[in-house]
Amino acid sequence: MSSLMIDIFSFIYGTITLAVFWHKAVISLYGRPQKQVADLYTSTRLEQNRFWDMTVPSPHYRAPLLPGLRHELVTLSTGLKMHYMESLSNTKTRTLIVLIHGFPDSWCIFHPLLSSERLVDLEADIVAIDLPGFGGSDDLQNYGPDAMLNAITETIHLLKQRYLTAEATKCIVVGHDWGGIIAYRLAAETIGLMDRACMINTAYAPLMKANANAVLTLTKPHLLAWRKAPFTIQHLLVAWTAAEPLRAQLLKSCYIFMLNLPLWMLRRNTITIEYLLDLCHTRGNTSITAVPPVLFETSNPSNNPRRDAFAQARASSFGPGHVESAVRGAKYGHSVKVRSRKSDRLPGDWLQRIRLYREGLAADDWQLVPHLQQYALPRSHNRTTFKCPVVELKDAGHWPMLDSEQGMEAMVRTMWWMVRPEYGLDSAFSSWIVTQKNEINTKLYG
């Protein structure tokens, strides 16, 4: 399929998705009574203050409303301020676990892990970083692989220096969604940066490409046969059936085509991005879906678990508000303060954040900057095989692994197993794990 045909298909499919999302957004968002909107806004602002307040004096910004957690910053060689949340102590230990979130989240999606008492005895420092442009981290000038992967590599490098001893330098990276895509690339395209990696609800671009090519290879002979005999529908039906994995993935990924439309189309339809965020926050989020379906109405307005869970998810995505970023004592970077004022309705500068999808981060080539060359691969090394053991937690949607009881148990046990393999995993939870080691798993979209 030619590049022009792919571009035409992508534009048409993205435009159709934009139209569908816009229609649903108008019905969903503008159909809410103003009292409910105001109630949700107030609840979201309270959660933003809880998650992002950094007003306790230095040297450590202990989160007053998040016991046991602490806001920290690390400044890169470019001057970029990277925000992360630290759990437990900051004493040097034998293991560092770095948690990397995805779209449209922040460190907050890992709050259950950071707060878990089950990990206190793990003898590991656990930190959850905010990707550049998200949460409390500064913006990048561009979001392609050169800028983003070098920023994350340097962040991990500096965190290793801050937390690990000279004798014990085990670093484990856990990536979720886009954080997993980034961690996959670093596991395959750097050496010595991490000792083990764990992926949650994510994809590896070379595998996705191989899967797509495999499906196209299966369908091509039947399509060619149908072209020669267009009245023989059987060939077309066989091709349609063979393409089912690819069709299913295209349907799941329809929003990606929308986010790659020309920016002028998205600027005029930001309501669709707001609707997309609401879908991300509610679909599969058991802390919201497990309670009665009435979202805001309750006999006791001060006690509404569904509304509060929704507000927490929104506050996690939005990042610091203008109060949290500008108040005296906050140490967030200048760009964090700027984007907190972008919009009262949808704070966070989302036209910038969707650049994760637009600038080749998943698959384009990149090079490590000179001062990080210690992690560079020799030219002879394959850049699609992993240079450290990699495990994938399967059957973990965007939320269940982090907010369901069984998912949390699997995640905690997996972290124990990665840090202390001698503890092993029992059969009830080993089924969650696909060990990928140094090879690409070739199953279709699993």
What is the pLDDT, as a whole number, of residue 101?
93
Residues 386, 318, single domain; the answer is no
- The encoded tokens of residue 317 equal 């995505």
Query: What pLDDT, in 10s, does the model give residues 306-353?
Result: 778 888 888 899 988 888 877 765 688 888 888 888 776 778 888 899
Q: Which amino acid is at 248?
A: A
For residue 101, tell me if it sits in a domain.
yes
443, part of any domain = no
Residue 127 and residue 99 in one domain: yes
Of 290, 325, 356, at which residue does a domain stop?
356
Shortest CA distance to 112 belongs to which of 215, 200, 221, 187?
Answer: 200
- So what's the pLDDT on residue 293? 47
Task: Note whether residue 441 is domain-resident.
Answer: no
Rounded to whole angstroms, the Cα distance separating 364 from 239 reads: 31
Q: What is the pLDDT of residue 284?
A: 61
For residues 384 and 188, the answer to whether their CB atoms sit within 8 Å is yes
Domain span at 64: 54-204+363-435
DSSP state of 356: G
Same domain, 72 and 211: no
Domain boundary among 306, 338, 356: 356
Task: Answer whether residue 317 is part of any domain.
Answer: yes
Quote the pLDDT of residue 152: 96
Confirm if 132 and 150 have CB atoms less than 8 A apart: no
Lookup: tokens for 415 = 């972290």
d(CA 348, CA 342): 7
Residue pair 383/377 in contact by the 8 Å Cβ criterion: yes
Whether the bond into 59 is cis, omega within 30 of 0 = yes
> Are residue 160 and residue 129 in the same domain, yes or no?
yes
Task: Judge if 192 and 265 occupy the same domain.
Answer: no
- Structural domain count of the chain: 2
Residue 90: what pLDDT?
46
Residue 292 zone, left/alpha/beta (φ > 0; ψ -120 to 50; rest): beta
Q: What is the pLDDT of residue 344?
A: 67
What CATH number does residue 87 fall under? 3.40.50.1820
Q: In what order do the strands lie in the sheet with 95-100?
A: 61-62, 69-75, 81-87, 125-129, 95-100, 170-176, 196-200, 390-393, 433-435
Residue 444 lies in a domain: no
Check whether residue 8 and residue 79 sit in a common domain.
no
pLDDT of residue 299: 45
Query: Same structural domain for residues 286 and 422?
Result: no
Residue 445 lies inside a defined structural domain of this protein = no
DSSP 227-250: HHSTT-HHHHHHHHHHTHHHHHHH
What's the pLDDT score for residue 64? 55
7 is a domain residue: yes
pLDDT value of position 433: 53
Residue 104, preceding peptide bond in cis (omega within 30° of 0):
yes
Other C-beta atoms closer than 10 Å to the C-beta of 442 total: 10
**Exposed, middle or buried by CB within 10 Å (0-12, 13-18, 19+), for 424?**
exposed
Position 1 scores a pLDDT of 55
371 Cβ contact partners less than 8 Å away, ≥ 6 residues apart: 77
Could you give the CA distance from residue 346 to residue 353 in angstroms, rounded to a whole number? 12
- Same domain (yes/no): 406, 311: no
Same domain, 261 and 196: no
On whether both 350 and 370 belong to a single domain, the answer is: no
CA angle in degrees (0–180, nearest 5) for 195-159-119: 70
Q: Domain ends where: 356, 388, 418?
A: 356
Residue 298: predicted pLDDT: 46
Instruction: Round the CA-based radius of gyration of the chain to a whole number and report it.
Output: 23
Instruction: Please tell me whether residues 114 and 180 are part of one structural domain.
Output: yes
Which helix (H) or strand (E) segment is 173 a member of?
Answer: strand 170-176
pLDDT of residue 78: 92
Whether residue 117 is found in the same domain as residue 71: yes
Residue segments in the chain with a per-residue pLDDT below the cut of 50: 57-62, 90, 291-299, 428, 436-446
The answer to the question of residue 277 being in a domain is yes
